[in-house]
């Protein structure tokens, strides 16, 4: 304990020990964010391999087996390696600063939950070099196909277990921190929306990651220990896997978007110079979305042959999600209404989020309608839909957050001109990439195919050009972050922006290694009610 | 290779190749239910456009009118119970309007009773097998040879020179026009999915289970679709082709197919 007592007195340890033994929420947050950026680049590179092959009909560069490995790995890396760790990184950095806590509640577990991730992804990426190649059955891992995976199979299962372990520990840490370590007057309904959406996300994680772990464990025993959970020949049911997987998978969708909702709920008020409209109803809307996410999973499975009553139930429940999602979009619009807006890079990304996430939400509503979903299902229409909610949704949310809080982290402003350039390139190319995919899907192009018939050639070429443009634009993002971290930019004030709300703006920029060692006073000026 | 790609792209953009088009929408199809599905799709799409116009209109107006550079002073309101109730209730009403026709069509889609003809379609990695129930006729249906040759990595064959590239088979499924045809779908290995956009049918073929789907084609012609569920390496290369023929030609086709059963032996082979 004596070692612990002195901990607060000194700054960071020197060299590699600072990172390996990190218990400081800011260091761990930084590691999460850097890790996620690296994974974003690797997953993005795989996406470019996919789009290059799909540039024109015929197979030019890679064989179908490797193509399937790329789609599978791209999804696993982007979902579990890029989007989720980025949000955990933001949570680590910002939640203690936003609720006035000195650190996360469980710093050593925090260290562990981060350091599991590089191990998990090294295992996963190593499968690319194994006999039989990387997993190629899609990130959904449907049996019996996934059981045809080569030597990579146990590595896939084990790495998914590790990712789940990391997420569960991260979620426990978030919940314990928020529940126990708020500054005295930071009442629950006074908490910033980012903290709220993360609290809800953390509960979702704890609820569903064990379900995923169970599903993949059953795959493992089916493969190696003679069970037949999902094998019809042994009395099992392949569709049961899909039910279990999507019971995890649908809340997972909201795990990837709720923290982004929180981010834009911070940014839009700041740059509209107006309080967030309907703070409490935003909390209730996010909670309703989280609740509904548990009872809509089978809308991913309308073609598996469910009873009519089941299809009707899941159709109606899915349509219902449009209501709280609509409330959120309307509230953001009302926040901007009669504000005094300026358009710095974080605001631009938040506005693009608002427009393009709404497009993804509307195509989601179309997908809820069973008879038309039967046409859309497993086509490029679905690919367009979920990329609209994940790229200009989750990823733009993350990038908006990085631009918004980067001056607080590094102490230096990013280059606004380059930031805006990065925004416009990203916003244009993301639409060039994904909008034509709606048309491809409606015209009948299935997803996950390495080669296609000639009538799909035009829009595929357009999408590929967009993808390459989008991918290259992201190099600019790294460069901009690098400049700010290397202190190439104006010194940031503690408030950074024009009178933003929130406790994080009361500490200096860069935020000192230890903050809020004594709980701050939550003045009404800085609180969110 | 890059030059070849660019050249083919330019060629695409320059000529309006009949095969390579800019189709934007779902086909209306050739069955009553595919048309209903199409109208349902369009109805929901128009609702989405209307919602988009209102929401995006408000955002865009606000972005242009309420900006600081125009000297806008921020209002400080942050609550309105009326507004919250309005934008909760109106979407619920719109959803109810959408839900009723969707449920009606869905109920029809599920009613596969009293078929005129039942066909068992079995998915294999990577081909389909069709069995006409009660007719002692069955055959495999695999990717046509010209497509199979052109699709190999580095084949040197231009896909545009192949008619119906990747959408042609050796033995199409043949059915009579106007008959209610019930498909029983299953699989011999992994999960496949039988998708025919013009019939608005997509149903998974699952090992150990039998799924049902039905269609009644109204127009004579050849219709093309593909396997829609990732089923391994050659998932993209197991197309589905259905030929709809005149009712009065049906018996003759059936008799002929049974007599010349040997024509099916070479293609696909036995498994």
Residues A129-167 pLDDT 10s: 999 999 999 999 999 999 999 999 999 999 999 999 999
Cβ atoms of B194 and B201 closer than 8 Å: yes
Q: Find all residues with CB under 8 Å of A237, minimum gap 6, and list them.
A: A229, A230, B208, B209
Q: How far apart are CA A196 and CA A208, in angstroms?
A: 19
pLDDT tens track for A205-238: 999 999 999 999 999 999 999 999 999 999 999 9
> Is A358 a catalytic site residue?
no
Dihedral of CA B27/B28/B34/B39: which sign?
positive
Within an 8 Å CB–CB cutoff, is residue B51 touching chain A?
Answer: yes
Would you call A278 and B80 a contact, using CB atoms and an 8 Å cutoff? Answer: yes
Would you call A305 and B17 a contact, using CB atoms and an 8 Å cutoff? Answer: no
Structure tokens at B177: 């026009």
Give the pLDDT confidence score for residue B1 in this predicted structure.
44
- Write down the residue that tokens 């070099």 correspond to: A129
Using CA atoms, how far residue B146 sits from A55, A444, B236, in Å, is 21, 21, 15
Of B67, B74, B209, the CB nearest to A305: B209
Q: How far apart are CA A147 and CA B26, in angstroms?
A: 35
| B194: helix, strand or coil | strand
Of the pLDDT bands very low, low, confident and very high (cuts 50, 70, 90), residue A525 is low
Would you call B164 and A442 a contact, using CB atoms and an 8 Å cutoff? Answer: no
Give the pLDDT confidence score for residue B266 in this predicted structure.
52
Look at residues B30, B4, B263, B237 and name the one whose alpha carbon lies nearest to residue B137: B263
> Is A487 a catalytic site residue?
no
Helix axes B2-14, A457-485, angle to 10 degrees: 120
User: Residues of B with CB below 8 A from A275's CB?
Assistant: 76, 78
Give the pLDDT confidence score for residue B269 in this predicted structure.
42
| ∠ CA A94-A386-A283, rounded to 5° | 40
Cβ atoms of B196 and B185 closer than 8 Å: no
Segment A31-35 mean pLDDT: 97
| A9: helix, strand or coil | helix
Half-sphere exposure of A435 (CA within 13 A, CB side): 10
Cβ atoms of A353 and A260 closer than 8 Å: yes
> Is A265 a catalytic site residue?
yes
Q: What is the 3-state secondary structure (H, E, C) of A280-328?
A: HHHHHHHHHHHHHCCCCHHHHCCCCCCCHHHHHHHHHHHHHCHHHHHHH
Within an 8 Å CB–CB cutoff, is residue B76 touching chain A?
Answer: yes
> Is A5 a catalytic site residue?
no
> Is A198 a catalytic site residue?
no
Query: In chain A, what percentage of residues exceed pLDDT 90?
Result: 93
Cβ atoms of A70 and A381 closer than 8 Å: no
User: Residues of B with CB below 8 A from A318's CB?
Assistant: none
Q: What is the 3-state secondary structure (H, E, C) of A142-185?
A: CCCHHHHCCCHHHHHHHHHHHHHHHHHHHHHHHHHHHHHCCCCC
Q: What are phi and psi of A309, to 5 degrees?
A: -60, -40
Q: What is the 3-state secondary structure (H, E, C) of A232-264?
A: HHHCCCHHHHHHHHHHHHHHHHHHCCHHHHHHH
| B227: helix, strand or coil | strand
Give the pLDDT confidence score for residue A3 in this predicted structure.
45
Of the pLDDT bands very low, low, confident and very high (cuts 50, 70, 90), residue A524 is low
Within an 8 Å CB–CB cutoff, is residue B14 touching chain A?
Answer: no
Cβ atoms of A448 and A71 closer than 8 Å: yes
Above 60 in pLDDT, residue A487?
yes
Of B13, B20, B202, the CB nearest to A455: B20
Would you call A341 and B72 a contact, using CB atoms and an 8 Å cutoff? Answer: yes
Q: How many CB pairs under 8 A join A and B?
A: 313
Would you call B55 and A330 a contact, using CB atoms and an 8 Å cutoff? Answer: yes
> Is A410 a catalytic site residue?
no
- Write down the residue that tokens 């995919």 correspond to: A437
Q: Find all residues with CB under 8 Å of A56, minimum gap 6, and list them.
A: A457, A460, A461, B5, B8, B9, B159
pLDDT tens track for B115-155: 999 999 999 999 999 999 998 899 999 999 999 999 999 88
Query: Nearest residue on chain B to A140, judged by CA atoms?
Result: B230
Q: Which of residues 19-48 of B touch A (CB under 8 A)?
A: 19-27, 33, 36-37, 40-41, 44-45, 48
Of A311, A372, A458, the CB nearest to B37: A372
Of the pLDDT bands very low, low, confident and very high (cuts 50, 70, 90), residue B262 is confident
What letter would DSSP give residue B1? -
Q: Return the exposure string of A197-208: e unless at least 16 CB atoms fall within 10 Å of the residue's CB, then b.
A: bbbbbbbbbbbb
DSSP A87-137: HHHHHHHHHHHHHT-SS-S-HHHHHHHHHHHHHHHHHHHHGGGSTT-S--S
User: Residues of B with CB below 8 A from A281's CB?
Assistant: 84
pLDDT tens track for A45-71: 999 999 999 999 999 999 999 999 999
| B262: helix, strand or coil | coil
Best of A62, A72, A305, A363 to substitute, by most chain B Cβ atoms within 10 angstroms, is: A305
- Please state the domain extents for chain B: 32-64+82-109, 117-267
pLDDT tens track for B10-44: 444 444 444 457 889 999 999 999 999 999 999 99
Query: In chain A, what percentage of residues exceed pLDDT 70?
Result: 97
Would you call B12 and A311 a contact, using CB atoms and an 8 Å cutoff? Answer: no
Q: Find all residues with CB under 8 Å of B200, minimum gap 6, and list them.
A: A371, A374, A375, B29, B31, B33, B34, B36, B37, B38, B109, B215
Give the pLDDT confidence score for residue B259 in this predicted structure.
87
CATH class of B117-267: mainly beta
Give the pLDDT confidence score for residue A289 in this predicted structure.
96
Q: How far apart are CA A72 and CA A13, in angstroms?
A: 39
Strands B239-245 and B173-176: parallel
- Write down the residue that tokens 């042959």 correspond to: A305
Dihedral of CA B67/B71/B76/B82: which sign?
negative
Mean pLDDT for chain B? 89
Q: How far apart are CA B214 and CA A398, in angstroms?
A: 46
Catalytic annotation, pick one of A25, A250, A279, A377 = A250
Alpha helix (H) ranges present in B66-112? Answer: 81-109
Best of A55, A57, A277, A359 to substitute, by most chain B Cβ atoms within 10 angstroms, is: A57
Query: In chain B, what percentage of residues exceed pLDDT 70?
Result: 90
Query: Nearest residue on chain B to A272, judged by CA atoms?
Result: B74
Would you call B55 and A333 a contact, using CB atoms and an 8 Å cutoff? Answer: yes
pLDDT tens track for A234-276: 999 999 999 999 999 999 999 999 999 999 999 999 999 999 9
Q: What is the 3-state secondary structure (H, E, C) of A466-487?
A: HHHHHHHHHHHHHHHHHHHHCC
Within an 8 Å CB–CB cutoff, is residue B141 touching chain A?
Answer: no
Best of B78, B99, B239, B241 to substitute, by most chain A Cβ atoms within 10 angstroms, is: B78
Q: Give the max Cα distance, chain B.
A: 86
Q: What are phi and psi of B201, to 5 degrees?
A: -120, 130
Give the pLDDT confidence score for residue B271 in this predicted structure.
36
Instruction: Give the range among A292-306, A344-358, B18-32, B193-207 with minimum mean pLDDT.
Output: B18-32
Mean pLDDT for chain A? 94
Look at residues A377, A391, A509 and name the one whose alpha carbon lies nearest to residue A445: A377
What letter would DSSP give residue A12? P
Distance from CA of B74 to the nearest CA of A (A): 4
The H or E element that residue B117 is part of is strand B117-124
Distance from CA of A386 to the nearest CA of B (A): 17
pLDDT tens track for B77-95: 888 899 999 999 999 999 9
> Is A377 a catalytic site residue?
no
Catalytic annotation, pick one of A25, A51, A74, A385 = A74
User: Residues of B with CB below 8 A from A289's CB?
Assistant: none
| ∠ CA A174-A496-A490, rounded to 5° | 125
Q: Which of residues 184-203 of B touch A (CB under 8 A)?
A: 189-191, 193, 195, 197, 200-203
Q: Which of residues 231-250 of B touch A (CB under 8 A)?
A: 231-237
Give the pLDDT confidence score for residue A484 in this predicted structure.
94
Of A60, A341, A379, the CB nearest to B63: A341
Q: How far apart are CA A375 and CA B147, in angstroms?
A: 25
Strands B221-227 and B239-245: antiparallel
Q: How far apart are CA A263 and CA A346, in angstroms?
A: 10
Q: Find all residues with CB under 8 Å of A181, minimum gap 6, and list them.
A: A96, A99, A101, A102, A105
Best of B229, B238, B239 to substitute, by most chain A Cβ atoms within 10 angstroms, is: B229
Distance from CA of B131 to the nearest CA of A (A): 20
């Amino acid at each position: 304990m004596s070692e612990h007592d002195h901990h607060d007195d000194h700054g960071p340890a020197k060299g590699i020990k600072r990172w390996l033994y990190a218990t400081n929420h800011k260091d761990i947050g930084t590691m999460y964010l850097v890790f996620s950026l690296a994974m974003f680049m690797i997953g993005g590179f795989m996406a470019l391999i996919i789009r290059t092959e799909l540039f024109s009909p015929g197979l030019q560069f890679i064989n179908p087996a490797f193509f399937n490995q790329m789609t599978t790995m791209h999804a696993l890396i982007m979902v579990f390696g890029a989007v989720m760790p980025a949000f955990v990184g933001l949570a680590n950095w910002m939640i203690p600063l936003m609720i006035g806590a000195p650190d996360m509640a469980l710093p050593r577990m925090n260290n562990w939950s981060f350091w599991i991730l590089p191990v998990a992804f090294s295992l996963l990426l190593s499968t690319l070099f194994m006999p039989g190649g990387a997993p190629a059955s899609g990130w959904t891992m449907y049996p019996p196909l996934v059981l045809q995976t080569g030597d990579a199979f146990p590595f896939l299962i084990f790495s998914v277990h590790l990712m789940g372990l990391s997420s569960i520990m991260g979620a426990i840490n978030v919940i314990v921190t928020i529940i126990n370590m708020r500054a005295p007057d930071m009442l629950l309904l006074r908490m910033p929306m980012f903290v709220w959406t993360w609290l809800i996300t953390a509960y979702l994680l704890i609820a569903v990651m064990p379900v995923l772990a169970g599903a993949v464990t059953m795959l493992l025993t089916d493969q190696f220990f003679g069970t037949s959970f999902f094998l019809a020949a042994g009395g099992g049911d392949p569709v049961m896997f899909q039910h279990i997987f999507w019971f995890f998978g649908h809340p997972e969708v909201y795990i990837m978007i709720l923290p982004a909702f929180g981010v834009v709920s911070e940014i839009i008020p700041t740059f509209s110079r107006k309080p967030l409209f309907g703070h409490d109803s935003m909390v209730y809307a996010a909670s309703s979305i989280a609740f509904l996410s548990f009872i809509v999973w089978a809308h991913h499975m309308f073609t598996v042959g469910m009873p009519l009553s089941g299809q009707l139930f899941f159709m109606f429940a899915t349509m219902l999600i449009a209501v709280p999602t609509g409330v959120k979009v309307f509230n953001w619009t009302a926040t901007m209404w009669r504000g005094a807006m300026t358009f710095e890079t974080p605001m631009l990304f938040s506005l693009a989020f608002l427009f393009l996430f709404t497009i993804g939400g509307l195509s989601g509503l179309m997908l809820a309608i069973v008879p038309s979903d039967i046409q859309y299902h497993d086509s490029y229409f679905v690919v367009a839909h979920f990329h609209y909610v994940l790229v200009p949704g989750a990823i733009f949310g993350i990038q908006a957050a990085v631009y918004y809080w980067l001056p607080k982290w590094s102490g230096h402003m990013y280059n606004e001109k380059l930031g805006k350039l990065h925004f416009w390139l990203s916003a244009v190319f993301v639409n060039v990439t994904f909008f034509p995919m709606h048309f491809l899907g409606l015209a009948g192009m299935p997803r996950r195919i390495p080669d296609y018939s000639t009538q799909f050639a035009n829009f595929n070429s357009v999408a590929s050009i967009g993808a390459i443009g989008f991918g290259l634009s992201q190099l600019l993002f790294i460069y901009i972050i690098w400049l700010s971290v290397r202190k190439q930019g104006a010194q940031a004030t503690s408030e950074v922006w024009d009178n933003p709300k929130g406790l994080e703006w009361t500490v200096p920029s860069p935020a000192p290694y230890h903050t809020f060692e004594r709980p701050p006073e939550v003045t009404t000026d800085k609180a969110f009610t | 290779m890059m030059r070849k790609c660019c050249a083919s792209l330019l060629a695409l953009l320059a000529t309006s190749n009949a095969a390579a088009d800019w189709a934007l929408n779902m086909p209306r199809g050739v069955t009553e239910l595919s048309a209903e599905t199409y109208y349902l799709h369009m109805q929901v799409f128009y609702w989405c456009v209307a919602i988009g116009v209102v929401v995006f209109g408000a955002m865009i107006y606000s972005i242009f009118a309420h900006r600081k550079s125009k000297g806008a002073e921020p209002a400080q309101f942050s609550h309105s119970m009326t507004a919250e109730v309005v934008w909760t209730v109106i979407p619920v009403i719109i959803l109810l309007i959408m839900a009723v026709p969707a449920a009606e069509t869905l109920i029809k889609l599920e009613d596969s009773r009293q078929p005129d003809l039942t066909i068992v379609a079995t998915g294999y990695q990577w081909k389909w097998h069709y069995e006409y129930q009660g007719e002692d006729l069955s055959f495999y249906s695999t990717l046509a040879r010209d497509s199979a040759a052109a699709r190999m990595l580095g084949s040197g064959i231009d896909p545009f020179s192949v008619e119906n590239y990747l959408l042609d088979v050796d033995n199409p499924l043949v059915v009579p026009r106007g008959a209610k045809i019930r498909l029983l779908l299953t699989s011999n290995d992994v999960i496949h999915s039988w998708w025919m956009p013009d019939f608005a049918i997509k149903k998974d073929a699952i090992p150990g289970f039998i799924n049902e789907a039905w269609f009644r084609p109204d127009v004579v012609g050849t219709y093309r679709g593909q396997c829609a569920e990732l089923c391994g390496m050659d998932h993209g290369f197991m197309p589905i082709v259905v030929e709809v023929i005149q009712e009065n030609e049906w018996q003759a086709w059936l008799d002929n197919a049974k007599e010349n059963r040997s024509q099916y032996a070479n293609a696909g082979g036995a498994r």
